[in-house]
Amino acid sequence: MRKKIFKHFLIVALAMFGVTNAWADTKTFTSFSEGQNTQSPVTVHCSSVSSNRAKLCSYGDISIIVSAGYTITEVKFRVYGAYSTNAIKVNNGKLSNTNPTANTTVTVSNVNYTQTTLQSKQGDYSIDQIQVTYTGATYTVNFDKQSGSGGSNSVTATYGSAMPSMTKPSRTGYTFGGYYTGTNGSGTQYYNANGGSAKNWDQTSNKTLYAKWTINPASVTTAPTAKTGLTYNGSAKALVNAGAALNGTMNYRIGTSGSWSTSIPTATNAGSYTVQYYAQGTGGASNSGTGSVQVTIAKANPTVTAPTAKSGLKYTGSAQALVNAGSTTGGTMQYKVGSGSWGTSIPTGTDVGTYTVYYQVVGNDNYNGNNGSNFQVTIAQSDQQKADAVIAQINAIGSPITAASQSAITSARTAYNALTAEQKALVTNYTTLTNAEAALAVVNQIAAIGSPITAASQTAIDAAHNAYEALSNDQKALVGNLSALTDAEAALAVVNQIAAIGEVTLSSGSTIANVRTAYNALTGDQQALVGNYSTLTDAEAAYNTLVTDHAAADAVIDKINAISSPITAADQTAIEDARAAGLQRADRYAKGLCNQL
Burial class (CB in 10 A: 0-12, 13-18, 19+), 567: exposed
Q: 87-96, 262-271, 369-378, 451-460: which range is least confident on average?
A: 87-96
pLDDT more than 70, % of the chain:
85
Question: Which pLDDT score is estimated for 364?
Answer: 54
- Verify that 12 and 121 share a domain, yes or no: yes
Dump pLDDT digits (tens) for 383-405.
888 999 999 999 999 999 999 99
Question: Which pLDDT score is estimated for 114?
Answer: 84
Residue 552 has pLDDT above 90, yes or no: no
- Asked if residue 70 lies in contact with residue 137, where contact means CB atoms within 8 angstroms, the answer is yes
Question: Which pLDDT score is estimated for 133?
Answer: 92
Q: What is the CATH number of the domain that holds 291?
A: 2.60.40
Specify the number of domains making up the chain.
5
Residue 572 covered by a domain: no
Question: Which pLDDT score is estimated for 582?
Answer: 59
pLDDT band for 234, please (50, 70, 90 cuts): low
Residue 589 covered by a domain: no
- Sorted by sequence, the CB contacts under 8 Å of residue 26 that are 6+ apart come out as 9, 10, 11, 131, 132, 133, 134
Q: What is the mean pLDDT of the chain?
A: 84
- Verify that 344 and 443 share a domain, yes or no: no
Q: What is the CATH number of the domain that holds 64?
A: 2.60.120
- Verify that 19 and 121 share a domain, yes or no: yes
Residue 516 has pLDDT above 80, yes or no: yes
- Asked if residue 209 lies in contact with residue 195, where contact means CB atoms within 8 angstroms, the answer is no
- Verify that 202 and 232 share a domain, yes or no: no
Q: 161-165, 246-250, 412-416: which range is least confident on average?
A: 246-250
Residue 592 covered by a domain: no
- Verify that 325 and 396 share a domain, yes or no: no
Residue 109 covered by a domain: yes
Burial class (CB in 10 A: 0-12, 13-18, 19+), 94: exposed
Residue 515 covered by a domain: no
Question: Which pLDDT score is estimated for 10?
Answer: 27
- Asked if residue 455 lies in contact with residue 499, where contact means CB atoms within 8 angstroms, the answer is yes
- Asked if residue 370 lies in contact with residue 327, where contact means CB atoms within 8 angstroms, the answer is no
- Verify that 145 and 200 share a domain, yes or no: yes
- Verify that 370 and 396 share a domain, yes or no: no
Question: Which pLDDT score is estimated for 19?
Answer: 33
What is the enclosing helix (H) or strand (E) of 374?
strand 368-380
Q: Which of 325, 320, 269, 319 is nearest to 297 (CA)?
A: 269
- Asked if residue 519 lies in contact with residue 536, where contact means CB atoms within 8 angstroms, the answer is yes
The length of the chain in residues reads: 597
Residue 48 covered by a domain: yes
Specify whether the backbone of 178 is left (phi greater than 0), alpha (psi in -120 to 50) or beta. Answer: left
Burial class (CB in 10 A: 0-12, 13-18, 19+), 101: exposed
Residue 2 has pLDDT above 90, yes or no: no
Question: Which pLDDT score is estimated for 21?
Answer: 42
Residue 91 has pLDDT above 70, yes or no: no
Which domain does 336 fall in, by range? 304-378
Q: What is the rounded CA–CA span in Å between residue 203 and residue 188?
A: 11
- Verify that 279 and 262 share a domain, yes or no: yes
Dump pLDDT digits (tens) for 166-183.
999 999 888 999 999 999
pLDDT band for 457, please (50, 70, 90 cuts): very high
Residue 340 has pLDDT above 60, yes or no: yes
Residue 597 has pLDDT above 50, yes or no: no
- More confident of the two residues 578 and 594: 578
Question: Which pLDDT score is estimated for 14?
Answer: 29
Q: Which of 188, 203, 164, 161 is nearest to 68 (CA)?
A: 203
Q: Are strands 291-298 and 230-231 parallel, antiparallel or unpaired?
A: parallel
User: Final residue of a domain: which of 499, 530, 553?
Assistant: 499
Q: What is the CATH number of the domain that holds 189?
A: 2.60.40.4270
Q: 16-25, 308-317, 325-334, 434-443: which range is least confident on average?
A: 16-25
Q: What is the rounded CA–CA span in Å between residue 520 and residue 511?
A: 14
Three-class SS state of 20? coil
Q: Cite the DSSP H helix spans in 351-481.
A: 383-395, 406-417, 421-424, 430-447, 458-469, 473-478
pLDDT more than 90, % of the chain:
48
Q: What is the rounded CA–CA span in Å between residue 137 and residue 157?
A: 8
Residue 102 covered by a domain: yes
Q: Measure CA of the first residue to CA of the last residue in the chain; give whole Å.
A: 104
- Verify that 335 and 351 share a domain, yes or no: yes
- Verify that 427 and 343 share a domain, yes or no: no
Question: Which pLDDT score is estimated for 372?
Answer: 67
- Asked if residue 313 lies in contact with residue 320, where contact means CB atoms within 8 angstroms, the answer is yes
- Verify that 21 and 129 share a domain, yes or no: yes
Residue 232 has pLDDT above 80, yes or no: no
User: Final residue of a domain: which of 188, 215, 242?
Assistant: 215
User: Average of pLDDT values for 470-479?
Assistant: 96
pLDDT band for 283, please (50, 70, 90 cuts): low
Specify whether the backbone of 531 is left (phi greater than 0), alpha (psi in -120 to 50) or beta. Answer: alpha
User: Final residue of a domain: which of 318, 344, 378?
Assistant: 378
User: Average of pLDDT values for 50-58?
Assistant: 84
Residue 16 has pLDDT above 50, yes or no: no
- Verify that 58 and 118 share a domain, yes or no: yes
- Sorted by sequence, the CB contacts under 8 Å of residue 469 that are 6+ apart come out as none
Q: Which of 531, 497, 524, 521 is nearest to 511 (CA)?
A: 497
Question: Which pLDDT score is estimated for 5?
Answer: 28
Residue 522 covered by a domain: no
